Amino acid sequence: MAVRINEKRETRLVAEYLAEKVFPNWYSQGQPLGPALPGLTEAHGVELALRISRPWRPEVDAVTVEDGRLVLIEGKIFKWRDGLGQLPLYKAAVPSTPELEAHRSKPVVMRLVMPWNSPTVEGLARATGGEVVVVSPAWIQEYVDGYHRYWTAEYRTVREEKLRLR
């Protein structure tokens, strides 16, 4: 049986975007948002309370400061609705995020990073106050093309043959 490896493609997509467009500006990947769980700060101090609370705090793919604005970045390859739905929730959590206290007075930008765009995605991003940035390195195009091949008649025949031979 083949082992599937989680390649974290969306994480890689965001990391490459940050390296190309954002560096050397400050940024944080996998930034937890919101406060520590109630009662933990008093019992353990801020730093330990935030570490203990991490599994229960939402996490944005990346956050940076750009042109005096705090930019929340969510990377998606196919599930753009999830990204557009998460970003406003993440924005709402910024005022209660201790790690971002120094940036609370800045306007917040919600940015969806994807390897493609469409008028629908672009329109819905604008309607929710967000924006879409297309980042499409060669490796992601190979993955997207392979994903789309999965649904073709030829590939379906190959899958059915594999199942028949089991």
User: Residue 102 gets which letter from DSSP?
Assistant: G
Q: Is the separation of the CB atoms in 65 and 24 below 8 Å?
A: no
C-beta neighbour count of 64 within 10 angstroms: 22
pLDDT in tens, 141-161: 888 888 888 888 888 888 888
pLDDT tens string 88-111: 999 999 999 999 999 999 999 999
Please return the burial class of 120, using the count of CB atoms within 10 Å of its CB with bins 0-12, 13-18 and 19+: exposed
Contact 104, 79 (CB under 8 A): no
Say which DSSP state 86 is in: H
Structure tokens at 86: 């998460």
Q: pTM value?
A: 0.85
Q: In the chain, what percentage of residues exceed pLDDT 90?
A: 72
| Distance between CA atoms of residues 139 and 120, nearest Å | 25
Average the pLDDT over 130-150 and give the result. Answer: 89
- pLDDT tens sequence across 22-46: 777 889 999 999 999 999 989 999 8
